[in-house]
Amino acid sequence: NHLITVGLIQWAIPVLRGRPSHYAAFRPSRIAPMLDFLSVHFYPFYGGDPIASAENFDKNRAYLELVLRYVKAGAPEKPLVVGEFGWHGGGKPDHQEERSPEDQARWCRAAVLQGKGIASGWLNWAYADTPSSRDITKFSGLVTEHGKPKAWGLSFRELAKKPTLWIEAPMKPGAKAAFDVDQAIVSPEAGDAMLRRYYDAWKTEKRCGLDVR
């Protein structure tokens, strides 16, 4: 009587891993038959803080799209939910005090819209800011530690009220990139090269298809 899924950590997608041992061996196409829906976590760290520059912002939108398309390709007929996401790429939030709540709302809203036609749901991490936290939970909430809605909380509410903004199918991608998963699993360099190719194609079209091999 319950829906079953696996919340895929980002290292289940073989790009930006550092070394082969970082690969989280949950391959969407292989686990999908056992699941009711697909799920993945996403944080932006391709090129650095997405708020730091327009290029970083775009790189991480393309990175997100590749992640979503890769997971979705494992079972196109099943819904895909982003089970955890936020506006910081993990680790200690060193410079986040320099960013504003409006910066958070800008990135997170862009992320949801980038997944249009691919993702069927989004769960923000976390519900409320926790200033005593030593990780992203310190500043990633929809509301403040006192329960006051932040800019992102208000924007998230509006997106929830208008699902047609981010659920319905987008225009067909004009560019397409091939992803050799078996090669990327054993070679981080090959996975990273794939991400660069995807970004180059994405820059031209602002949305790119993915042929998973």
pLDDT in tens, 38-95: 999 999 999 888 998 999 999 999 999 999 999 999 999 999 999 999 998 766 666 6
pLDDT of residue 5: 97
pLDDT band at 161 (very low <50, low <70, confident <90, very high): very high
Q: Which single residue is written with the structure tokens 């009220």?
A: 161
Report residue 166: phi and psi, to 5°: -135, 0
pLDDT of residue 136: 86
pLDDT band at 206 (very low <50, low <70, confident <90, very high): confident
The DSSP bridge partners found for residue 121 are 81
Average pLDDT score over residue span 189-207 = 94
Q: Alpha carbon of 115 to those of 22, 37, 85, 174: distances in Å?
A: 25, 16, 12, 16
Q: What is the mean pLDDT of the chain?
A: 92
Residue 155 pLDDT > 70: yes
Please state the pTM of the whole predicted model: 0.95
Average pLDDT score over residue span 171-189 = 91
Q: Identify the residue with better confidence: 57 or 172.
A: 57
Q: Alpha carbon of 165 to those of 31, 62, 81, 107, 169: distances in Å?
A: 30, 19, 16, 16, 10
Kindly state the percentage of the chain with pLDDT values over 90.
Answer: 81
Contact 82, 122 (CB under 8 A): yes
pLDDT band at 35 (very low <50, low <70, confident <90, very high): very high
pLDDT tens-digit readout, 87-121? 987 666 666 666 899 999 999 999 999 999 999 99
Residue 15 pLDDT > 80: yes
pLDDT of residue 93: 64
pLDDT of residue 90: 61
Q: Alpha carbon of 172 to those of 24, 72, 117, 129, 210: distances in Å?
A: 30, 16, 10, 38, 12
